[in-house]
Amino acid sequence: MYLLTVVGNLTIVTLVCMVSQLHTPMYFFLCNLSSSDIVFVTVTLPKLLSIFLTQDHTITFDGCITQLYFFLICGQAEIFILTCMAYDRYVAICKPLQYSLIMNKVVCFVMAAFSWLTGILNSLLHALIASSLPFCYSLEIDHFFCDLKTLGMLSASESKNRDILTSVQSVFIGCVPFLLIVVSYVYIISTILKIQSSNGRLKAFSSCTSHLTTVVLFYGPIIFLYMKPENDRSREDDKLLSILYVVVVPMLNPFVYSLRNKDILGAIAKIKQYLKKV
């Protein structure tokens, strides 16, 4: 699964960089998403595999914090990039005539840079806080990678400030982007419903299905994991759900975008032709 994820996402990155028909905002954002997916699985899965192979269940403290740091960067960048993509679809469907004006290169670049930079800075903050927590109860991580929740649980300190920080963050990083995506889709769907011909409706809608699928795949497990009350489920269910978003979702993304997608299939055909000539 790790290899499949890396190869699948690398293929998307390569295609978007090489084929000029894919030099559009949507595919640039997709390229960002795929790069993030590659880092996301690379910080978690090789360590998990080495635990399976060597039966050595330990991780160094620095390793743990590094894993946490990159995991958070990618998680946040993905949330913001998915939001940018939703906005891109909104402009493409609701304001098609102004599309190239609104989604110009500078705007896209600023949106992508904002996604990455906030991720990097915010994760740095979390990593610094986590690395200064006093761990006195136990040093046993009840998970297959170091995430914020598990590390927080290990620590003996019951810090009010940290709780406030976490709540403010979950509003800004969890809820606001999600609401923006929902609002975009409300506009998109109401615009699509106004289209007269059923053919046109189908065409407009099919340009959003890949993005919508990714959003559902990405947010489904997260909402399930974080919205339910703490004691409702066992830790084992939590781990199973995080397998879904750490392993399965990054693996599925390239397939969601390439199957039935004429642009990507066309790009693959083009590369094949090119390779034949060489």
Ligand X SMILES: *[C@@H]1O[C@H](CO)[C@@H](O)[C@H](O)[C@H]1NC(C)=O
Nearer to ligand X, 108 or 267 (CB): 108
Contact criterion met (CB below 8 Å) for 40 and 74: yes
Computed over its alpha carbons, how large is the radius of gyration of the chain? 20
| Cβ-Cβ contacts under 8 Å for 67 (sequence gap 6 or more) | 43, 44, 47, 59, 145, 146
Stretch 128-187 residues interacting with ligand X (CB under 6 A):
none
Q: Is 145 helix (H, G, I), strand (E, B) or coil?
A: coil
- 28 near ligand X, rule: CB under 6 A: yes
Q: How far is the CB of 30 from ligand X (least distance, A)?
A: 8
- 245 near ligand X, rule: CB under 6 A: no
Number of residues that bind ligand X (CB under 6 A): 9
Nearer to ligand X, 112 or 241 (CB): 112
DSSP 6-69: HHHHHHHHHHHHH-GGG-SHHHHHHHHHHHHHHHHHHHHHHHHHHHHHH------HHHHHHHHH
Rounded distance between C-alpha atoms, residue 211 and residue 193, angstroms: 19
Q: How far is the CB of 94 from ligand X (least distance, A)?
A: 20
Stretch 99-118 residues interacting with ligand X (CB under 6 A):
108-109, 112
Nearer to ligand X, 22 or 151 (CB): 22
- 31 near ligand X, rule: CB under 6 A: yes
- When binding is defined by CB under 6 A, the residue of 35, 76, 155, 214 that contacts ligand X is 35
Rounded distance between C-alpha atoms, residue 183 and residue 185, angstroms: 5
Q: How far is the CB of 220 from ligand X (least distance, A)?
A: 25
Residues that bind ligand X (CB under 6 A): 25, 28-29, 31-32, 35, 108-109, 112
